Structure 1
Amino acid sequence: MTKKTNVLCFIDNPRGRDFEIVVLLAIFIEKYLNCKVEFFLKWDIHQIYKKKPDIVLTPNAIGSHYYYEITKYAAESGIKVFSLISEGNFRTNGTFNYWGYNKNNIFYQDYICHWSQRTLDFLVSELPEYKDKMVLTGATGFDRYKIYEFQKRETILRKYGKEKYKKVITYAAWSFGKLFNEQGRKEIQYMNAPGKPDRAKWMEEQMYEVEGVLERVITENPDILFFLKRHPSARNPSVTGEEMNEIIRLSKYENVIYIKEREEIHDLIAISDLWLGFETTTALEAWCMHDRPTILINSNTDFIRDELYKGSVIAADYSELQSFVDEFYTTGRVKAFDIVEKKQERNRLMASIIGFDDGLNHLRAAFYFNKTLTRPESKIKIKINLIYLFRHLLTRLGKLTYNKDLFLKLPKFKKSVWVFERLDMSEAYLAKKRYEKYVDDFYEKKHLHSLSDFELLWTNIITQKNE
């Protein structure tokens, strides 16, 4: 039997966005490209030296300094690198830092994967020297809305003892929490634009406005259960404790469930009647799953953001939001969301942002992964990195003595709590195993049974421009 290709996949969490970006690709390459995939926390970069893999897989190459270090270390060691992209809906007006944490301004992966033709064309114009590396894969993390089965409402409500509620609304929080930690404030300052109000001051004002609107709609509708989902990137994972945001003080109400990481965003979308936000890409995820109304709470729309808001209904204040809620629970629809212009905007935005809404984006990525896999080998020479070794040893020793309550009380240790909380990848493997059935069913419906079937599919879904 041919020796399997060893793939190390680094992620920031055994669940959530980055895991969902890579898991369908991981399932495919194990089933059809003779690979073995192992998941590791992005902190544990020493695993590259220890495991000496054939290829390293990451959900992005610039979204954190860990992902940047992983791709750089692997590539400089002669190991092939394949990276996707976590934030592929980036602005193409010159205000987006497309290098992120990549301080060397060098792409180390074989291919620079893009969600859409819009971003591909933009980055080719900005970095023509990387033109041959630029490819269009679509957003792999959105494929799950065409493939997975999701939790039932009664299952989730039973978990919280809220079975009596027949109506469910979810609010997906924005990154207001960045106001309350040092790194977040630096990021906000970076976003200050000439001629515009101070962004931190503006964010604080908006946060309390949104909180006030939400509080009133929650208290005025005691028969509706509200899930309030904290933004996953509102703070660095090393920051411990609860940060202030627009929703945390509302968790005291009987008809509120405050969600940090316990529930997947796709399951919350599946059980919700209405999807609320201030500014959220999860509205796009809601459109992928079903045509339930998405409503943004904005007292004004004049701030730096992409066009995603054009597909949603805007509620300027409590009265407008309440009228939309009443309309939905009376008629089952929100007319303002259903108008032709809004539907056209949603269709346009889907193509402009995620590229394709057919569940095949992970297979487009697999085409380029396979090309990376089959290119000639480089000479692999991995030098030990003492910093990565030190981190690795710390986690191994720390696991023996780790106690969350104790570590949170120790200044030198509390910033490492996120590492120990996420180090165990058993949850990732369990989720991957569960998703395999959904993937098999999806492939069966598409009449995809062998690698030759996928190769034929690739000739149809990969544009000649990107081959």
Structure 2
Amino acid sequence: MDFKVSRIHNKIDVLNLEWTSGPSRDRVMATLVCNYLRRQGFSVGEYSVHDGLDEINELCPRLLFMTNTIGARENFEIMRYAVQRGVLGVSLIVEGNIREGDADLESAMIWGWNHDRVLYEDLHFQWSERTRRITLRQHPELKGKVLISGGVGFDNYKIGITVDRSEILRSLGKAEYTKVVGVGCWDFGIFYPEDSRHEVWGKYYDETAQKNFKADESRFHDLLEQTITRNPSVLFLLKEHPGVLLGRKASGIDGLDHYDNVIVLKNELPIDQCIAVSDVWLVYESTTALEAWLIGKQTALLNPSGRDFPRDVLHQGSPDYATSDEVCDALQYFFSNDTLPGFMERQGKRDSLIEEVIQWGDGLNHVRVGNEILELLRQKPPGPLKNENTSERLQRWRQHVRWMIKSWSADKSTPYGFSRQEVNKFASEMQVRQTAFYDHLGLKPMELLNIRAI
């Protein structure tokens, strides 16, 4: 049975749906693109995934834009719902450094929660020619729907990050520290059955690999703890992966926040600011190492069992330390000589990796996405939503009821921690930075239109 829709006119051109309202990784990417579309004269709304189905029904957008449709079941279902109702769809890829060489793992990174293995959206943007080649090798039928935008989130570093380190440390209650070591945590949670993602990702690693990763979680914890206790005058800023579901255990940092010289952050401070306030940036495995390179921060790997395990190519740009002695010696050398042992020797490799992984480091990847969205809107005339079927309407009602219940119980009208006021404030702040960046490059709105994806 089909139902007639209550709205037939498009209230906005583009609707963006994300999980967070604060300046998280996904929010930064989304707002960069949304602001560019506003600059070109289009109406854009940035709202919450958690009430996304009802937002689509009420606003009747011409196009739904999401930074990720495969990392969570909700995202995939929302995009499918929108497209089935006649809304245009565009998505980015968040974890875009697809690992090459393992067909099953490649496929997992392409599809994630999309068990249908149907690309419902009209356009999907990936980071590089390398990743599109991997995708089309497995799925040649996607040719024409998968474009290369470059890594949109990395634009933020080129546009410019302004931080007041003293103020941030003061706000974190750590103003007394003059040395800061940042640690970008990995998410070991996918190897635990209690993690909902284990169903998708766990099967792409054999039993031996899973056992080794779990052992490395413990070794990483011990290495880090020994380093922390041996450097009481250094503040260790531990930044959890935004997608971690099992907390600090899955990050390999359980109990480390008990030390005075440790601060653990997840969404409280965006990744760009975490990197910017740190003197050096350490990771087990993370694309945040590349982000650190873009703002001139030195990086190293904390790999207690060595760097030889299934991973992406970015590890080649950093020296690796396997023991607490190695880490402590390296940090002592850095704070005396402003360089990490083994880091400068890898400069040439880092330069090639930046191009290989994110294609363009010019800060204009969000413009490339925006221009393809504008072209798609130009090609497809606006129209009413298609009717919902019974299943779709029930799905929307269930989600909306949960949202309303959460709204009634949330403080300051922030259901699921999502505040429209916070979104608008961040968008305004970013628009100032973006405008200054475009002006610095001498690019007027009409000239920006010439910057295209491939």
Determine if the alignment matches structure 1 residue 89 to structure 2 residue 97: yes
Report if the CA contact (8 A) 2:11-2:60 is conserved.
no
Amino acid at match of 2:260: E
Instruction: Show the 5 A alignment for 1:49-198.
Output: 49-93=57-101, 94=103, 95-96=105-106, 97=108, 98-178=110-190, 181-187=194-200, 189-193=202-206, 197-198=208-209
Q: CA deviation at 1:288?
A: 1.3
Q: CA deviation at 1:324?
A: 0.8
Q: CA deviation at 1:285?
A: 0.8
Partners of 2:353 and 2:423 lie apart in 1 by 31
Partners of 1:398 and 1:114 lie apart in 2 by 34
Partner of 2:427: 432
Pair 1:398–1:123, CA change in 2 (3 A): closer
Q: CA deviation at 1:284?
A: 1.0
Q: CA deviation digits over 1:234-277, x for unaligned, max 9?
A: 21xxx7x7655421311011111111211111001101111111
Report if the CA contact (8 A) 1:286-1:294 is conserved.
no
Q: CA deviation at 1:58?
A: 0.6
The correspondence for 1:227, drawn from 237, 251, 262, is: 237
Q: Secondary structure at the match of 1:101?
A: coil
Amino acid at match of 1:214: L
Instruction: Show the 5 A alignment for 1:30-429.
Output: 30-93=38-101, 94=103, 95-96=105-106, 97=108, 98-178=110-190, 181-187=194-200, 189-193=202-206, 197-199=208-210, 201-235=211-245, 243=249, 245-339=251-345, 342-377=346-381, 380-383=385-388, 385-402=393-410, 420-429=415-424
Partners of 2:382 and 2:428 lie apart in 1 by 33
Report if the CA contact (8 A) 2:91-2:124 is conserved.
yes
Partner of 2:447: 453
Pair 1:397–1:110, CA change in 2 (3 A): same
Q: CA deviation at 1:12?
A: 1.6
Partners of 1:242 and 1:396 lie apart in 2 by 30
Q: Secondary structure at the match of 1:171?
A: strand
Pair 1:402–1:27, CA change in 2 (3 A): closer
Identity of aligned residues (%): 28
Report if the CA contact (8 A) 1:168-1:225 is conserved.
yes
Report if the CA contact (8 A) 1:174-1:231 is conserved.
yes
Partners of 1:401 and 1:436 lie apart in 2 by 32
Amino acid at match of 1:317: T
Moved more, 70-79 or 309-318: 70-79
Partners of 1:67 and 1:221 lie apart in 2 by 42
Partners of 1:270 and 1:148 lie apart in 2 by 11
Q: CA deviation at 1:349?
A: 1.3
Q: CA deviation at 1:435?
A: 0.9
Report if the CA contact (8 A) 1:276-1:297 is conserved.
no
Report if the CA contact (8 A) 2:52-2:78 is conserved.
no
**RMSD in angstroms over aligned alpha carbons?**
2.2
Q: CA deviation at 1:371?
A: 1.3
Partners of 2:137 and 2:198 lie apart in 1 by 31
Q: CA deviation at 1:185?
A: 4.3
**Structure 1: 5+ residue stretches without partners:** 405-418
Q: CA deviation at 1:134?
A: 2.2
Partners of 2:127 and 2:96 lie apart in 1 by 5
Report if the CA contact (8 A) 2:19-2:418 is conserved.
no
Partner of 2:30: 22
Q: Secondary structure at the match of 2:144?
A: helix
Report if the CA contact (8 A) 1:33-1:370 is conserved.
no
TM-score scaled by length of structure 2? 0.90
Q: CA deviation at 1:209?
A: 1.0
Report if the CA contact (8 A) 1:293-1:333 is conserved.
no
Partners of 1:37 and 1:185 lie apart in 2 by 33
Q: CA deviation digits over 1:89-119, x for unaligned, max 9?
A: 1123222222221122211222221100101
Amino acid at match of 1:9: N
Q: Secondary structure at the match of 2:52?
A: coil
Q: CA deviation at 1:367?
A: 1.7
Amino acid at match of 2:435: D
TM-score scaled by length of structure 1? 0.87
Report if the CA contact (8 A) 2:79-2:89 is conserved.
yes
Partners of 1:386 and 1:333 lie apart in 2 by 58
Partners of 1:435 and 1:89 lie apart in 2 by 25
Amino acid at match of 1:27: N
Q: CA deviation digits over 1:323-356, x for unaligned, max 9?
A: 11011011111241001xx112111211111111
Report if the CA contact (8 A) 2:12-2:60 is conserved.
no
Pair 1:315–1:271, CA change in 2 (3 A): same
